[in-house]
Amino acid sequence: MNAADDARIAPSERDELRRRLPGLSDAELPFRGHLLIKEHLMREAARGEQTAPRRSRRPLALSLAAAAAAAACAVAVAFALGGHGSGARPDAARPEPAAVQLLDRVALAAATAPAPAVRDGQFMYTKTVGHSTSLTEVRGGGMEAAPTDESAERWLSVDGSAGMVVRTATGTDRHPPEGPPSLNGPTYRFLETLPTDPDKLLELIYEDTRLNHGSGSGSTTGPDQQAFVAIGDLLRSIEAPPGLSAALYRAAARIPGVVLVPEVEDAAGRTGVAVARVHNGERTEWIFDKESLRLLGARTVVLKDNAWGKAGTAVTSVAIVARGVTDRPEQLPRS
């Protein structure tokens, strides 16, 4: 936090925020996104005063605490009622409160971000850097792990009519449209049609994950883990409308087993805070900037020594380094 930011919050207010905000402290969440939340709540309070002048005003700290508590309570109630059709058992690992509260703050920041100005015929541009890991059998029957460059630039048709163009270090590939858009192959126009109610959105995602990764499917991933992965893929692969981005983050906060990782480095060397889920000895992480709460990227880390690497090795790590809108493929967005 710079001096100007610090001056905007009086010492007494900082102390009150720390005291009343449930479940988190500055040490536990080393980012400063509360400024974004404060501004959002102040705008909401101002609008509320215009439409309901008799409603009493509560201190900001109380409102912030109530918002965080409400997010955690909503998840608890959902589990008490049997989850969101995910097949979650009553004894399933509930989302960690700190992760739920971080996702709520990320959702607030996403909801107040400006929507990209797009027209049909244009392209959503995303530039990423990173790697994945592949296993190759070697002489003697052992396995050798080798990194594969996953850095790329992608131009995805806004309305799906022109498919996608992908440029990597090895060349440029053009992918024509492959049927109607879906959760696994979205366009910006498709994302605009999805519900922004987190419960309805999560149920839609679970319909797909139960079908392809539920009981009898033969999948070892399971619907909960696949729902987390699917939401992460949506958020990383294309910039979504602000309302939908916020709903996706709040939907993720309802998935069993979601946890917080306080200190993570992305593929571009940037340090952030992560929300993650552990499955079969691997931790899938979404990494956020500690101050702006912007999504930086994602990675998967092995938690035990195995053929993929030593414990703590990032077997995949992809960072988002640029996004924008262009009029044609292979054109860069205006800065």
Give 58-79 pLDDT, tens digit per residue.
333 333 344 444 444 444 444 4
Q: What is the mean pLDDT of the chain?
A: 81
Tens-digit pLDDT profile for residues 283-317: 999 999 999 999 999 999 999 999 999 999 999 99
The arithmetic mean of pLDDT across residues 102-107, rounded, is: 98
Confidence category of residue 174, pLDDT binned at 50, 70, 90 = very high
The arithmetic mean of pLDDT across residues 170-179, rounded, is: 94
Confidence category of residue 92, pLDDT binned at 50, 70, 90 = low
- HSE at residue 139, side-chain half, CA atoms within 13 A, is 0
The DSSP secondary structure of 232-264, one letter per residue, reads HHHHHHSPPPHHHHHHHHHHHTTSTTEEEEEEE
With tokens 């480095």, the residue in question is: 265
The arithmetic mean of pLDDT across residues 143-170, rounded, is: 95
The arithmetic mean of pLDDT across residues 226-236, rounded, is: 96
87-91, 236-240, 291-295: range with lowest mean pLDDT = 87-91
Confidence category of residue 93, pLDDT binned at 50, 70, 90 = confident
Q: State yes or no: pLDDT of 235 exceeds 90.
A: yes
**Which pairs from 228-234 meet CB under 8 Å and 24+ separation?**
228/252, 228/255, 228/258, 228/277, 228/284, 229/284, 230/183, 230/184, 230/205, 231/205, 232/284, 232/286, 232/298, 233/184, 234/183, 234/186, 234/191
Residues of the chain with pLDDT > 70: what percent? 72
Phi-psi region of 312 (alpha: psi -120 to 50; beta: other; left: phi over 0): left
85-89, 140-144, 193-197, 233-237: range with lowest mean pLDDT = 85-89
Q: What does the pLDDT read at residue 64?
A: 38
Q: Quick check: 293 and 277 in contact, CB under 8 A?
A: no
Q: Where are the domains of the chain?
A: 3-326
- Write the CB contacts of 258 (distance below 8 Å, at least 6 apart in sequence): 95, 96, 99, 100, 103, 228, 252, 275, 276, 277
